[in-house]
Chains A and B, each alone.
Chain A
């Protein structure tokens, strides 16, 4: 037989094998009227398929003498009888089984550990799953009935048999409408919330583990790799699982891919991916084709795609809220994700009811657009304003170019258009953590516009290289400010390329392109590249501006920014001092940029131990910032905090205490009382209060720091250990030895679990703990 004939044979077989026996004969005669031999072959294959459907289905394991793995039908496991094999997981086999005693009949999913795979690690994980399931009772979590040992000693457990389909295929196959999909998602959130409340992180949420039964009930399965959050309670589980991490990259959070300790936030991320899948019928990323090496790098730079960019019929209904909900859940920055599955569910509920969602609570633009959307005009207006501004800039620029420099007036118009664009660039700057730049409705529209029209506009300017370069740079800057670094890099590089061709040698625009490329690289953590661009830009600006110039000062500032942390304090001080002098000369003494330089310099001096040099600089920066931003701006709080630390380190506790309190007060009002930034304030204030002899207040402050770090940092984080140790020490000082024991135990456990435990930390924690224990025994006896 040749391969052409085989293809025909296979095609015929394919077509006919699904038919009923009576249909088959007809179809065979109809589809293959001319070839008796082929017809006989197909008939023989069909007969073989009928006669022996299980042929080759049991892999050769058994034949290799490696059998004994699978329990045969009818075998007894505890009170259960095996009916059939349902599936096979990494560590166990799952069977459908039946419990058949006098009282009731119940079908269960029976999970039995694989022999040969029963290494200690696997048995631990298996037991852990059992323990986890036992602690969960929720209508959307598959229920655990009982467990025990098989005759040959393998652990097994019986759980609710879920007859359902993975949630994604359930939605596709049954054409589930969008509102119902959102309801299903809320059920999933509710189950996950329940798990989290019981200190369980699922860690492998994906459609295969979230089934929907025929009556539409969501069931969460497979806590196989779940981890108990409560380290002390989860005795069966190692804090870190050695060996390969089982996970599904498309659904795994960046921190999970990086192999970092996981908190409930990892599940929130996976819920975001799952929601994306339900909204769009597809996964946000396809990470299966890249190496894990690339994966590590990629997760840093990912911006979650927006569901509304997909091509589902209801894509337009996803724009706005649902985009934001998915992107909030999938935020690469753990601190910016939903705090809980419940919060995610609430936003889905608010969206369903047409109420503003919490993820966009802080954005004025959002509230406005929410209002406008009810009137169905806001979207067009906001996008229109932006498009017109850009088009204006381009048109004016083009005109100016045509007439060249004949008309001063038109050149001025052009400058103004560029200025307006520049303002927009700043308006959408999301890099400022204190601004109101949550992915708001208007930002989204601008992003839409950029993607649709930006490239087109650049193409149109093909014959205008100078203007093309300007627009590429501005669009690049705008993209960068909206966090689209890849696009920003592409456009800025294009601008640089065009400018290098346009201008031989040094040119201010080339320096600007270089400077912004440096900024992009710095933002995505490519420090070496950033240093290269900043250095080139700085050198060029030095040649271009022999006397003090603000752009030169900016280059100096950027250079010191990128070198910060390299330990080269002398060079950094040099750069900052030069920038400061320039800014003072050009801007006067009372400008925020002067304060920035002062603050940078002071930080460097402070870490160098030169408190005398740092203090006046902090005080001057603080005065300038108070005047420039108002007394309640977070920038002001940052400087207050820096100054307070210096005062504490130089034993001026009373003033330090007042200042810490002031910084905390500003932060709490600007960022919310639980913001992670604030824990350092409480920590510092506690140590200051101790010095002032106010132990009760020290204890309150330290408890507060510990609480915040516990909720915002991954379990086992060194900061949590530090908070706990200090709290224990303070309690001991306050003669509350019994209360000190728990935090000291926690601190010790965290210190000991570090990759490279600090002997000093561990020794200190041990010493304090033994003192606390001794004190309690004395008290008792």
Chain B
């Protein structure tokens, strides 16, 4: 996959081309997965890389930074957060299947699957589902949670990813967290 391609899609996305985001997402998803796999296989005993580092590393690898604005960087982070959410949720689902003796196919990425406890996997899946509901009422709040929680972006990075102010991010983040907590409590 060429950097030029990702950079071009980023430009289109910045200009409001939604289909560019659809094309970009799988590229970023694959890269993030590959990076995660590499980290986990190299350091099977001590997997030590935060999602946010993966996102940053993917950015350095996929994007020609001399040709992308700081807004473009934010845009990439937003897409990467979406991808990271999918990766994490997929992994949580897989974790549950393994527990049930399901179809856990053996891939390198899963060698370390024990690091994810079943309870946590359950919680991630629930958060993901509840987040879909939040997105219907307040899409931006859901995106903020995606950036903060799944990609590990800072408040400032999240603000730049979603094109809003840090104050808005902080406000919305706190309300969305409390609402999610409340919804999860009610479900359990």
Residue among A9, A68, A244 making CB contact with B47, cutoff 8 Å: A68
Nearest-Cβ distance from residue A766 to partner chain B, whole angstroms: 36
B47 pairs with A66, CB closer than 8 A: yes
Residue among A2, A55, A117 making CB contact with B177, cutoff 8 Å: A55
B51 pairs with A116, CB closer than 8 A: no
A115 closest partner in B (C-beta): B48
Most chain A Cβ neighbours within 10 Å, of B36, B48, B69: B48
Annotate B35-72 by CB proximity to A: 1 below 8 A, 0 otherwise: 01001100100111111111000001000011111111
A49 pairs with B88, CB closer than 8 A: no
Q: Which A residues touch B100, using CB under 8 A?
A: none
CA distance A49 to B48 in the complex (A): 30
| B151 interface hit (Cβ, 8 Å) | yes
A116 pairs with B39, CB closer than 8 A: yes
Q: Which A residues touch B113, using CB under 8 A?
A: 65
Nearest-Cβ distance from residue B180 to partner chain A, whole angstroms: 7
Nearest-Cβ distance from residue B118 to partner chain A, whole angstroms: 11
| B152 interface hit (Cβ, 8 Å) | yes
Q: Which A residues touch B103, using CB under 8 A?
A: none
Nearest-Cβ distance from residue B54 to partner chain A, whole angstroms: 8
Query: Chain B at the A interface: mostly helix, strand, loop or mixed?
Result: helix
B69 pairs with A290, CB closer than 8 A: yes
B116 pairs with A48, CB closer than 8 A: no
B49 pairs with A52, CB closer than 8 A: no
B11 closest partner in A (C-beta): A291
Residue among B40, B115, B121, B178 making CB contact with A49, cutoff 8 Å: B178
| A405 interface hit (Cβ, 8 Å) | no
Nearest-Cβ distance from residue A106 to partner chain B, whole angstroms: 28
With known contacts A59-B150, A60-B152, A66-B39, A49–B174 Cβ distance under 8 A: yes
Binds B, one of A10-18, A77-85, A412-420, A476-484: A10-18
Number of interface residues of A (CB under 8 A): 49
With known contacts A13-B178, A115-B48, A65–B148 Cβ distance under 8 A: no
Nearest-Cβ distance from residue A32 to partner chain B, whole angstroms: 15
| A293 interface hit (Cβ, 8 Å) | yes
| A114 interface hit (Cβ, 8 Å) | yes
Annotate A34-64 by CB proximity to B: 1 below 8 A, 0 otherwise: 0000000100111111011001100111111
A66 pairs with B49, CB closer than 8 A: yes
Nearest-Cβ distance from residue B92 to partner chain A, whole angstroms: 7
| A408 interface hit (Cβ, 8 Å) | no
With known contacts A116-B49, A152-B46, A291-B67, A49–B120 Cβ distance under 8 A: no
With known contacts A45-B182, A63-B120, A291-B68, A115–B46 Cβ distance under 8 A: yes
How many cross-chain pairs have Cβ atoms below 8 Å apart between A and B?
156
A17 pairs with B182, CB closer than 8 A: no
CA distance A378 to B68 in the complex (A): 49
Nearest-Cβ distance from residue B124 to partner chain A, whole angstroms: 5
Most chain A Cβ neighbours within 10 Å, of B54, B71, B92, B115: B115
A61 pairs with B115, CB closer than 8 A: no
Residue among B91, B150, B181 making CB contact with A48, cutoff 8 Å: B181
| A22 interface hit (Cβ, 8 Å) | no
Q: Which A residues touch B149, using CB under 8 A?
A: 56, 59-60
Most chain A Cβ neighbours within 10 Å, of B49, B120, B160: B49
With known contacts A63-B88, A244-B60, A116–B145 Cβ distance under 8 A: no
CA distance A640 to B141 in the complex (A): 72
Q: Which B residues touch A293, using CB under 8 A?
A: 66-67
CA distance A291 to B182 in the complex (A): 42
A67 pairs with B47, CB closer than 8 A: yes
A65 pairs with B66, CB closer than 8 A: no
Q: Which A residues touch B53, using CB under 8 A?
A: 114, 116-117
CA distance A3 to B135 in the complex (A): 10
Residue among B51, B123, B127, B179 making CB contact with A66, cutoff 8 Å: B51
B48 pairs with A114, CB closer than 8 A: yes
Q: Which of A622-665 contact B (CB under 8 A)?
A: none
B124 pairs with A289, CB closer than 8 A: no
Q: Which A residues touch B92, using CB under 8 A?
A: 63
B152 pairs with A61, CB closer than 8 A: yes
Q: Which of A418-470 contact B (CB under 8 A)?
A: none
A67 closest partner in B (C-beta): B115
| A292 interface hit (Cβ, 8 Å) | yes
Q: Which A residues touch B88, using CB under 8 A?
A: 60, 63-64
Q: Which A residues touch B54, using CB under 8 A?
A: 66
B36 pairs with A66, CB closer than 8 A: yes
B52 pairs with A59, CB closer than 8 A: yes
| B98 interface hit (Cβ, 8 Å) | no
A65 pairs with B116, CB closer than 8 A: yes
A65 pairs with B40, CB closer than 8 A: yes
A12 closest partner in B (C-beta): B175
| A69 interface hit (Cβ, 8 Å) | yes
CA distance A66 to B121 in the complex (A): 13
A17 pairs with B36, CB closer than 8 A: no
| A20 interface hit (Cβ, 8 Å) | no
Q: Which A residues touch B49, using CB under 8 A?
A: 61, 66, 69, 115-117
Residue among B47, B174, B177 making CB contact with A65, cutoff 8 Å: B47
Q: Which A residues touch B87, using CB under 8 A?
A: 64
With known contacts A45-B179, A49-B174, A56–B52 Cβ distance under 8 A: no
| A288 interface hit (Cβ, 8 Å) | yes
| A6 interface hit (Cβ, 8 Å) | yes
| B137 interface hit (Cβ, 8 Å) | yes
| A1 interface hit (Cβ, 8 Å) | yes
Residue among A60, A65, A243, A294 making CB contact with B112, cutoff 8 Å: A65
A6 pairs with B181, CB closer than 8 A: no
Residue among A1, A116, A290 making CB contact with B48, cutoff 8 Å: A116
A61 pairs with B52, CB closer than 8 A: yes
CA distance A66 to B112 in the complex (A): 9
CA distance A9 to B134 in the complex (A): 13
Q: Which B residues touch A9, using CB under 8 A?
A: 175, 179
A61 pairs with B50, CB closer than 8 A: yes
B137 pairs with A6, CB closer than 8 A: yes
A49 pairs with B181, CB closer than 8 A: yes
With known contacts A288-B70, A289-B69, A292-B66, A64–B177 Cβ distance under 8 A: no
CA distance A243 to B59 in the complex (A): 13
Annotate A72-105 by CB proximity to B: 1 below 8 A, 0 otherwise: 0000000000000000000000000000000000
Most chain A Cβ neighbours within 10 Å, of B71, B87, B152: B152
A46 pairs with B178, CB closer than 8 A: yes
Q: Which A residues touch B48, using CB under 8 A?
A: 66-69, 114-116
B39 pairs with A10, CB closer than 8 A: no
| B171 interface hit (Cβ, 8 Å) | yes
With known contacts A115-B46, A116-B53, A10–B175 Cβ distance under 8 A: yes
Most chain B Cβ neighbours within 10 Å, of A41, A52, A152: A52
- Using A65-B116, A291-B68, A291-B72 as known contacts, list a sample of 11 further A-B pairs with CB atoms less than 8 Å apart, ordered by residue number in A: A6-B138, A45-B181, A60-B150, A60-B152, A64-B51, A67-B115, A115-B43, A289-B70, A290-B69, A292-B67, A296-B66
Give me 27 A-to-B residue pairs in the complex whose CB atoms sit less than 8 angstroms apart, sorted by A's number: A1-B137, A13-B178, A14-B175, A44-B185, A45-B182, A48-B179, A48-B185, A59-B149, A60-B149, A60-B152, A61-B49, A61-B52, A63-B88, A63-B92, A63-B120, A64-B36, A64-B87, A64-B91, A65-B116, A66-B51, A66-B115, A114-B48, A115-B43, A116-B49, A288-B160, A290-B69, A293-B66
A interface residues (Cβ-Cβ under 8 A, vs B): 1-3, 5-7, 9-10, 13-14, 17, 41, 44-49, 51-52, 55-56, 59-69, 114-117, 152, 243-244, 249, 288-294, 296
Closest 7 CB pairs of A and B: A59-B152, A115-B48, A65-B115, A48-B181, A116-B49, A45-B178, A61-B50
